[in-house]
Structure 1
Amino acid sequence: MQAYQSVLDKLNAEYGTTFHFPTDEELQAAGLTNTIDPRTVNVSAEELEKQLRPIAERISQANAEAGKE
């Protein structure tokens, strides 16, 4: 999981986002549990970054535009 956390940390540093894995408390509040078996993850850390980067860019842009108002 460290490779995935590194992706989140990298994007957060680059774009000022706050991506994180939900805590047990956050999962419980949403009625979910942490049942992910790391052996069954089929998205590489590189693919996760590829998927999240455009989202981080849009969040960063929206935050910048909101700051101008």
Structure 2
Amino acid sequence: MNGNRLKELRKERGLTLEQIAKKVDVKRATFGRYENCDSEPKLATWEALAKFFNVTPQYLVGWTDEK
């Protein structure tokens, strides 16, 4: 998992942890753990994050550099 991509995308868009957490229906602390690689999202959450950021799930997890 690549938490840095989550943080990078969030910061590029000028969003807070709270804003993204609400959009993908997780707690703020949970999203913070995703960014710090302390926890990994479920598949449905990966998909919601990819849709929200308009990138592929593969990009989010670091399997590809193509958004």
- TM surpasses 0.5: no
By relative contact order (CA 8 Å, sep 6+), the higher-ranking structure is 1
Q: Highest Rg: 1 or 2?
A: 1
- Is the helix fraction higher in 1 or 2? 1
Q: TM-score when scaled to structure 1? A: 0.29
